[in-house]
Amino acid sequence: MTGRPDNLAEILDLETIDRGLFRTTHHFEEQFPLYGGQVAAQAILAAGRTAPPERVPHSMHCYFLRGGDPAKPVVFHVAADFDGGSFSSRRVIAVQDGDVIFNCTVSFQRHNEGPDNQMVTAEPIGNPDELADWDPRRLHSVAMKEPNRDNPNNYWPKDWLAKVDIDLGDDPMMHAAGLVYLTDAGSGLAEIRSKEVGFLSTIDHTVWLHRIPDMNQWHLFNYGPRRTGDGRGLYTGSVFDMDGAVIATVAQESLFRYQKKDRS
């Protein structure tokens, strides 16, 4: 289906072609390459369709290899590598026009009892009604809020509130996908960019899900830079619910290079 849909659930929908083989169903023209959070969210849904139903994802490790085209279908190949007593592991390869554009591993776990402690604290930015609306531009079916930015030249915030504003229902995989979709929306490196540093395209992206969220509720994203060097930059961050409970931990490595000088 072509045309620009407004419903995130439709955008993330996958057609089952064969066992472990899925294809996107909604495509639309856009001036930018395929949004990384979208292909990652679709990949975790594809992996979830092959996992035992009582298991939920707890980690996802992604590599972005080529820019995708949002106007063309993406095919997801899922390899069921392991199903143990507590954990299941899946590998996902996303292919477009015969080229691999993305791959990831997703690990699932059945519920187990264990110590429950939190060693990270949220850095609040205010309540949604106290903050400015952030135009998500490329994102669909989401609401976003942010404080006033010190550097208006950097589009991506490092601290923001977000939620999915269509009903995701009761399926935990849809809420996990909604979280993954939003984790790529900001950047912990944007605040240290300068006019000499080029565009920050993603190399790899990791999400650890500590609990399955309700993404129809507001969540706080706190990101911060860790290091730059060798043309790469690393940031990490946490996602909290509005009670301050940590829901997920995020790490991303991006290209962080000097702009090429005009040699003319």
* Domain residue limits at 141: 8-111+120-255
Q: What is the pLDDT of residues 141-197, one digit of tens each?
A: 999 999 876 655 566 789 999 999 999 999 999 999 999 999 999 999 888 888 788
pLDDT number for residue 90: 98
Q: Is residue 141 part of a domain?
A: yes
Q: Is residue 48 part of a domain?
A: yes
Q: pTM of the predicted model, to two decimals?
A: 0.94
pLDDT number for residue 262: 52
Please give the backbone phi and psi of residue 232, each rounded to the nearest 5 degrees, phi first: -125, 155
130-158 burial code (b ≥16 CB/10 A, e <16): ebeebeeeebbbbebbbeebeeeebebbb
What residue has token string 């060097």?
229
Interatomic CA distance for residues 141 and 42, integer angstroms: 15
Residue segments in the chain with a per-residue pLDDT below the cut of 70: 1-5, 149-155, 198-200, 261-264
The helix (run of H) or strand (run of E) holding residue 176 is: helix 172-183
Q: Is residue 263 part of a domain?
A: no
Q: Is residue 264 part of a domain?
A: no
Q: Is residue 211 part of a domain?
A: yes
Q: Is residue 3 part of a domain?
A: no
pLDDT number for residue 263: 40
Structural domain count of the chain: 1
Domain CATH code at residue 127: 2.40.160.210
167: Cβ contacts below 8 Å, ≥ 6 apart: 216
Q: How many CA atoms lie within 13 A of 202 on its CB side?
A: 28
Q: Is residue 229 part of a domain?
A: yes
Q: Is residue 1 part of a domain?
A: no
